[in-house]
Amino acid sequence: MRIVGSDLTGEVLELRAEGDARALLAGIDAVFAAPAMLVAEGGIEVPRLFVSDMDSTMIGQECIDELADYAGIKPQIAAITERAMQGELDFEAALRERVALLAGLDESAIHACLAERIVATPGARTLVATLAALGARNVLVTGGFHHFADPVAEMLGFHRVVGNRLAVEEGKLTGGLIGAITDSAVKAAVLRGELAELGGDAHSLATGDGANDIPMIEAATYGFAYKAKPKARAAANGRVDSDDLTAVLMLLGIPREQWREA
């Protein structure tokens, strides 16, 4: 196994060891806490596919929690979100419960929330733009909503968006959803489907933070947990515990002169 880590100065260190990737990461954690690490079999290559979660990964917020603030019920909804992301609740049931609580909220609150609350994670633009410049296909797949994901994807430079759709009638949220739910199984299926289109030897990268990202993280060649909940962190062979997502580029061995801005 190849172990690559970065320290607080951004210096990249490399080791080689035998064993399971997750066990090696756990062992390293017991000795010292590196801000970012990746354990991979063989050489590390630039991925041809990047699939990422949105909330608390590509952006620094949970959109449904911020939207709930406009309805005056953020603490109530945020508590459910946290339990769902920890893997304590069924994702779909928790999603439908939270959306139902938003019934009657004016659709204009979404536009205000996007403008006033939603901010890209440090390094997100550079990560997406650099991978795209190097030939990767970038897919944003979220258990959140197209109302948010579509403009976020455009802002960051993703090629495709997969997510859930809020039902709106006469300018107000109905408290329901349209169509099938994008959950953990769909996230992993999107990664596998995109990878099949590229060819079986293509390497893939996934980033996420919550329990519903685990199957996607596990399915990727390089599955990164970004400032993640414990279950997602334990499932990953890559970790970024610092704020800046450009740590992923460093661990993939992509030199700074090749980095791009969106």
Q: Is the pLDDT of residue 8 over 60?
A: no
Please say if 65 is a catalytic residue: no
User: Lowest mean pLDDT: which of 40-44, 56-60, 171-175, 228-232?
Assistant: 40-44
Catalytic pick among 29, 55, 90, 150: 55
CB 229 within 8 A of CB 86: yes
Please tell me the predicted confidence (pLDDT) of residue 17.
59
For residues 161-180, average pLDDT: 98
Q: 104-142: per-residue pLDDT in tens? A: 999 999 999 999 999 999 999 999 999 999 999 999 999
Least trusted range by pLDDT, from 36-45, 173-182, 183-192, 244-253: 36-45
d(CA 246, CA 72): 35
Q: What was the pLDDT predicted at 261? A: 85
Residue of 176, 175, 183, 173 lying closest to 111 (CA atoms): 173
Task: Give me the pLDDT at residue 41, please.
Answer: 80
Question: Among the options 53, 65, 209, 244, which is catalytic?
Answer: 53
| pLDDT reported for residue 5 | 66
Which pLDDT value is given to residue 101?
Answer: 97
Q: Which amino acid is located at 141 in the chain?
A: V
Distance CA 19, CA 17 (A): 7
Which phi and psi angles does 168 have, rounded to 5°? -130, 135
Q: Which domains does the chain have, with CATH numbers?
A: 45-241 (3.40.50.1000)
Question: In the predicted model, what is the mean pLDDT of residues 238-262?
Answer: 93
Q: How far apart are CA 124 and CA 56, in angstroms?
A: 11
The Cβ-side half-sphere exposure at 148, using a 13 Å CA radius, reads 33
Give CA–CA dist 251/125, Å, rounded. 17
pLDDT tens, position by position, 22-66: 676 776 666 666 788 888 887 899 999 999 999 999 999 999 999
What are the tens digits of pLDDT across the range 158-169? 999 999 999 999
- What's the whole-number mean pLDDT along residues 239-256? 94
Residue 68 is predicted with a pLDDT of: 98
Residue burial 223-256, b: 16+ Cβ < 10 Å; e: rest: bbbbbbbebbbebbbbbbbbebbbbbbbbbebee
Write the pLDDT tens digit of every residue in 186-205. Answer: 999 999 999 999 987 899 99
Whole-angstrom distance, CA of residue 53 vs CA of residue 20: 25
Does residue 244 have an active-site annotation?
Answer: no
Average pLDDT, the chain: 92
